[in-house]
Structure 1
Amino acid sequence: MSKRTMSRRPATSILRQRAAVVAAGFGVSAALGAGVAFAADSAQGALPSVSAASIEAQATAQAKAADSAKQAAAKAKQAAAKAKQDAVKKAASWIDPVKNYTLSAGYAQGGSMWSTGKHSGQDFAVPVGTNVMAVHGGTVVKTGGNGAGDGPAYGNAVVIKHGNGTYSQYAHLSRVDVHVGQSVTTGQHIAQSGNTGNSSGPHLHFEIRTTPNYGSAVNPVSFMHSKGVHV
């Protein structure tokens, strides 16, 4: 065998080895590429599922929020309707002119304290400064000293005209907090009780009248009983 022939064999072998290595490299690259492509395809396939779940969660949250808002609106509507009913009921109601009282002199009671010999109203014994309230909604028609025009025996007084054509009078007041022409509601503060005028002690003198003036009083206890107020 010649030297030339021997030198060719190693070269051919080396070339073959290199070709095999290159081929193997291509195989690995192809395999890696396929793996990356598969992973990408897998990731892309998973995205729609995650997105759908997120959208579903958002839709559920929005539906709950809308339902809560609807319930809140319904409750607010019910509360407004109840407040309106309460206001109407209150406007139609009658109440005592003071709280925490003791009844003293009654209607038509005789005595030297009354100019006519008969007491024209109902007295509520309370401390000076007690809150005096309108027994019913109406309009203030008389206020001031000298019994608001009915005489000094009443001291400071207030007269309110009511929608049913009756009048309520409050006398012996220490302070008047309303003025003529003012509209008042049931239970509204109008004055403070006192001991002014012809009074034997701190109390509120209360009358129900058929006119704004002295001499037209009716039994206030019977009248208030007819309105559901048990004095």
Structure 2
Amino acid sequence: MSQRNLSRLSRPSALRARAGVLAAGLGVTMVAGAGTAFAATSGDAAASPAGSSASASASAVTSAAAVQKQATVQAKAADAAQSKSAADAKKAAAWTDPVKKYTLSAKFGRGGSMWSHKHSGQDFAVPIGTAVHAAHKGVVVKAGPNGAGDGPAYGNAIVVKHKNGTYSQYAHLSKIDVRIGQAVTTGQKIALSGNTGNSSGPHLHFEIRTTPNYGSAVDPVPFLRSVGVKV
């Protein structure tokens, strides 16, 4: 074969070899570029979850603190309500209504022909024979007919002295179940209601006094409410 022909034959081989080298180089570049891109992407992906996790943790801590604060506020409110209920219950236990299942009739301070002066107590309309209870613990200082010394208008009456300096009076009774000097407890039955004395119908006349005697009465309804009794 001539030298010229050999030269022709070798050119395509050289071109193919050169093309192969270029292709190989391009492939390496592409692979390297892809690797770099992958690495960068992988780095971003790895960094992103870490940041999200930190943010989520911070949010969780904030939420937990808010929940705890709310729980503390609610607990304090519950404690305050419980303390108030206990105080109200204590007051209610210390004082009680003188009769049960009544209707409030003539009020304190009411005027009219029924009284020589204004009405000195609160009337509780109840049937004759209704149990009358001591509104608060104390000692009986008056008991008997003729208003226990306060006048015939009261009929049969009782006066109880209490440690806080007040006195409770119960009048128009049909029966007296205690005696002078006797200690009584809150809610103890001390008499039966009636219609004795100057009375327009069966009821209990109830007073709160600052002394054991007539003329020192105060409005008993606000007083009872102030010590936790609902009337």
**What is the TM-score normalised by the length of structure 2?**
0.60
Distance 2:176 2:94 in 1: 23
Could you tell me how far apart the structure 1 residues matched to 2:211 and 2:131 are?
Answer: 25
Structure 1 residue runs of 5 or longer lacking an equivalent are 1-84
Counterpart of 1:191, as a letter, is A
1:166-212 alpha-carbon deviations (Å, 9 max, x no partner)? 00000000000000000000000000000000000000000000000
2:110 and 2:166 map into 1 onto residues whose CA distance is 22
Report if the CA contact (8 A) 1:90-1:186 is conserved.
no
2:107 maps to 1:99: no
Q: CA–CA distance in 2 between the matches of 1:171 and 1:144?
A: 10
> Partner of 1:3 in structure 2?
none
Contact 1:159 1:167 in 2 (8 A): yes
Q: 2:204 is matched by which residue type in structure 1?
A: L
SS in 2 for 1:223: helix
Match of 1:46 in 2: none
- Residue 92 of structure 1 and its aligned partner are, at CA, apart by 5.9
- Give the count of matched residue pairs: 144
Report the AA paired with residue 112 of structure 1: S
Equivalents in 1 of 2:169, 2:116: separation in Å?
A: 17
**Residues 102 and 177 from structure 1, CA distance in 2 versus in 1: closer, same or farther, beyond 3 angstroms?**
same
Deviation at 1:111, TM superposition (A): 1.1
- Whole-angstrom distance in 2 between the partners of 1:125 and 1:91: 22
1:89 offset after TM fit, Å? Answer: 4.6
1:126, 1:204 within 8 Å by CA — same for their partners in 2? yes
- Unmatched 5+ stretches in structure 2: 1-85
The reply to whether residue 156 of structure 1 matches residue 156 of structure 2 is yes
User: What is the alpha-carbon distance in structure 2 between the residues aligned to residue 90 and residue 226 of structure 1?
Assistant: 9
Distance 1:225 1:186, change over 3 A: same
Consecutive aligned runs of 4 or more in structure 1 exceeding 4 Å deviation = 88-92
Partners in 2 of 1:104 and 1:92 — Cα distance? 25
Deviation at 1:230, TM superposition (A): 1.5
How many percent identity over aligned positions? 76
User: Which residue is 1:30 aligned to?
Assistant: none
What amino acid is aligned across from residue 224 of structure 1 in structure 2? L
Match status 1:115 vs 2:111: no
AA matched with 2:116: S
Q: What's the counterpart of residue 216 of structure 2?
A: 216
Coordinate RMSD, CA, aligned: 1.7
Aligned counterparts, 1:79-228, within 5 A: 89=90, 93-116=94-117, 118-228=118-228
Counterpart residue identity of residue 129, structure 2: G
Query: Post-superposition shift, 1:91?
Result: 9.5
The code of the aligned residue for 1:105 comes to A
Mapped to 2, the partners of 1:221 and 1:147 lie a distance apart of 21
